[in-house]
Structure 1
């Protein structure tokens, strides 16, 4: 396999695994998740809605035909998470030692690197969106 292919798969798997792993907390109304979305003023619908969007995004990332759309969507989601940490939640949420923020940064970096590596695909997608 080519290096770019291996790296791309690694980045996609990293993002998908992190998105899927956090779904447990969102869908079971874990107290930490409820705390986060309460602080953001969108509990419970924001928590559940974002969980559904993250599930769909993780699936899109894993499917060959929609992987770049999924990574673009994930970048949007994670930018919202990072800004939420900076503006509302703080880095250390519920005494997690910055764990959630670290995962958000990992996803942000993985998405950014993937989209940089596949910039031609990103441009093609964006061209299709123009009226």
Structure 2
């Protein structure tokens, strides 16, 4: 049990990094799955709400922008995992990861994307991408809980009103 207490945060960070980093190939090479998600489902949905181009290449939430944020989160998580004096970086990486993955989960649940994403061969993924996102969300939340005291130090002191 002491081993888990001392090193469990590394396992959580490694899972998050595994999911984020393995998705970078798809996001940065404009794979058919990524094009389907961002340009085929999310961008038309955003356009119907009056925000055309939001998920298109060059858009505020394009695959490259999201992938870059996932890469930054992964670097923070790994640096904080293996450099003890910079442990707060792991908490900041978890915070960024939670923001990214919360958006992804909301887009799966509340847009035409859905929980089951269509693969490049036309088959559905059975909810695998959504399940991975839920796992990342749980790991980010656990890391934030573990680093709550370190992160609290970065907040401004509360003022009495």
TM > 0.5 = yes
Which residue is equivalent to 1:14? 15
Which residue is equivalent to 1:99? 128
Aligned length: 128
Q: 1:79 aligns with which of 99, 102, 108?
A: 102
Q: Relative contact order (alpha carbons < 8 A, sep ≥ 6): 1 or 2 greater?
A: 1
Q: CA deviation at 1:5?
A: 2.4
Unaligned runs of 5+ in 2: 44-54, 81-85, 119-123
Which residue is equivalent to 1:108? 137
Distance in 2 (CA, whole Å) between partners of 1:2 and 1:68 is 20
Unaligned runs of 5+ in 1: none
Which residue is equivalent to 1:47? 63
Distance in 1 (CA, whole Å) between partners of 2:22 and 2:105 is 18
Which is further off, 97-106 or 58-67?
A: 58-67
* Cα deviation 1:20-77 (Å, max 9, x = unaligned): 0100100111111111111211122311111111111111111122111111000000
Q: Secondary structure at the match of 1:102?
A: helix
Which is further off, 55-64 or 117-126?
A: 117-126
* Cα deviation 1:103-122 (Å, max 9, x = unaligned): 00000000111111221112
CA RMSD of aligned residues (A): 1.4
